[in-house]
């Protein structure tokens, strides 16, 4: 199966600063990489995704970059706000299922 590693496991930033979360994957055939945000007591919600035909995708304060050669992709959150505090998961596909990273607990300090 796919091996997805995610770092860091915890991250604290001051409000307004940027946060970066990184994931690596093992299957070079993988071509779709979503990121999910999970707030306490809720299911994961998709926040952004990227396909392998592009190297970067942005949506307001959130961006994802992909390096297929190195097999890693990163989530970038700029101008962080307290409501960004949550657990973030990356995922990579293998066959018809997704393997998830172990999660990053992001705390934005007001």
Q: Does residue 101 bind another protein (CB under 8 A)?
A: yes
Residue 16 or residue 21: which is nearer to another protein going by CB? 21
Beta bridge partners of 36: 46, 89
Q: Is 34 in the site for another protein (CB under 8 A)?
A: yes
* CA distances in angstroms from 46 to 6, 14, 90, 106, listed in the order given: 17, 24, 10, 16
Do 48 and 62 contact (CB within 8 A), yes or no? yes
Helix (H) or strand (E) holding 100: strand 97-100
Cα gap 33→42, rounded to integer Å: 21
Nearer to another protein, 43 or 110 (CB): 43
Which is nearer to another protein, 13 or 94 (by Cβ)? 94
Residue 44 binds to another protein (criterion: CB under 8 A): yes
Rounded CA-CA distance 17/20 in Å is 10
Among positions 14, 60, 95, 110, the unique one binding another protein when judged by CB under 8 A: 95
CB of 102 to another protein, least distance (A): 4
Q: Give the footprint of another protein on this chain (CB under 8 A).
A: 31-32, 34, 36, 42-46, 49, 89, 93, 95-103
């Amino acid at each position: 199966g796919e091996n997805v590693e995610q770092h860091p496991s915890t991250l604290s930033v001051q409000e307004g600063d940027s946060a970066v979360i990184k994931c690596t994957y093992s299957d070079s055939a993988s071509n779709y990489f979503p990121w999910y945000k999970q707030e306490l007591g809720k299911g994961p919600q998709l926040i952004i995704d990227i396909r392998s035909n592009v190297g970067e995708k942005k949506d307001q304060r959130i961006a994802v970059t992909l390096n297929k050669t190195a097999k890693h992709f990163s989530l970038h959150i700029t101008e962080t706000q307290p409501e960004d505090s949550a657990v973030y998961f990356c995922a990579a596909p293998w066959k018809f299922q997704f393997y998830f990273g172990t999660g990053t607990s992001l705390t934005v300090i007001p």
